[in-house]
A and B are shown apart, each in its own frame.
Chain A
Amino acid sequence: MSVATLTPEAINYVCTTVRARSAIELDVSKSYLIEARLAPVAKDNGFDSINDLIQALRGQRQLKLESQLVEAMTTNETSFFRDQHPFETLRKTLFSEIKTRNAASKSLNIWSAACSTGQEIYSIAMHLREHFADLASWKVQLVGTDLSDDVLKRAAEARFSQIEVNRGLPASMLVKHFQRNGLHWELKPEVRNMARFMKLNLIERWPPLPVMDIVFLRNVLIYFCPETKRAILEKVRRVMAPNAVLFLGAAETTMGLDAGFERVQSDNSVYYRLK
């Protein structure tokens, strides 16, 4: 495939389309990122270059191709146990707190919004197996959502490359919860079956969700403008149980956006508790 620098018109088209379809603001200065993400889309659809792909899209609106472009541009980078600290907080305080609070219902619901290929929700699943005693007698729902069909499919497969399992995942957990299959590593069924995945675009109508005790919405809000952030946080609040907690990315906050949350500092991590 020929390598050609993207034209300003092409970059503009990508940014406009992504903004219209997902409300995400791309950083125009990162045109290399656009090239890296869109090269496979162009190749898979038989185009010689990204410029050709975009020219075709501009000539005639093709919804499926457009979706592929938006998905490729909005897929989150992810790794197992990303940032570590939220998982420490789960282990040290939140798991035991929920065990007491939900002792009667024995139910626990956790949501990974923008779950990408599933590393976050599966990290939570493995973490529960290690640190949540009596797990077997509880009804646990782990839900991963994303706007990309492609990553949801991969998340449900729970097959990861060597590079992916090398990142962030302790070797002790790798040998315990995964099995090798050729070049790939597959989560064992008992962990894989703990999570389910569904399509959800944060700025569109949401499918019904269980009432959540813990929500992970990390490194997602950074892409949106303040109004959209507010709207998303309000909707998130409505699916949260009383006293439920929300984890955001390190560069994100509810402060100044939504007064319904209280900021809690716990060891090295920060989370937001529903008031």
Chain B
Amino acid sequence: MILPRLASPNLAFALVALGVLLLLAGSYYGLFVSPQERYMGDVQRIMYVHVPSAWNALLLFTLAMGCALAYLWRGGWGWDAHHEALLEASAVLSFLLCVQGSIWAKPTWGVWWDWDPRLTTTAVMLLALLGILALRSAVDDPEKRATWSAVATIIAFVDVPIVYFSVRWWNSLHQMQSSPETVSAPFIVPLRLNAFGVLALMGGLALLRARVAARRTAKELGPALPPMPAGAALEA
């Protein structure tokens, strides 16, 4: 078996549990403890999941790119397995981001989609991620699948800032960047709790997903080369 080094399932489950706890705490704080925002009212509370999702979608995509680079540079099926898992995790968060963005836009601007550069970039990123996942499912040979999708991930990752700036120039009405520095203290706590909550939850799930991917690859690769009959030595 060509099984790569993977995180133990206990660690992954612990991360998932930690993520759920943090999200419960953060959501409770965000919904019941934080005061109502003066101008936007309760609608603003969606930011407590929206912003952490955005940070983590980008973070996981960056990590996926790191795995893609590592696979091309060093080889090793572990990188490929984590690459696949992180692509999927990032795609899930990007999808949630688009949904949350629409839910936010409707009461705020009266439309489901407002062509905000961040939201539009997320939609493009989601489509790019789905394209890479489709490529992975369309290639049977494990080595080609790993190499080609790693190349596609690097190409798509480099595109993200270009898409962002081109959409921004294209549509000059945009919101200020949300980050803890621009928000006052009672708003920061749920934001931080949920940011780490989403990270722990999706990170844990990605580690588990990588184990599944690694098993599938090991099955596809089949047994290692059977030993040579007596007399013939196999060089390393």
Q: Do A and B come from one complex?
A: no
Enumerate chain B interface residues (CB-CB to A < 8 A).
none
Enumerate chain A interface residues (CB-CB to B < 8 A).
none
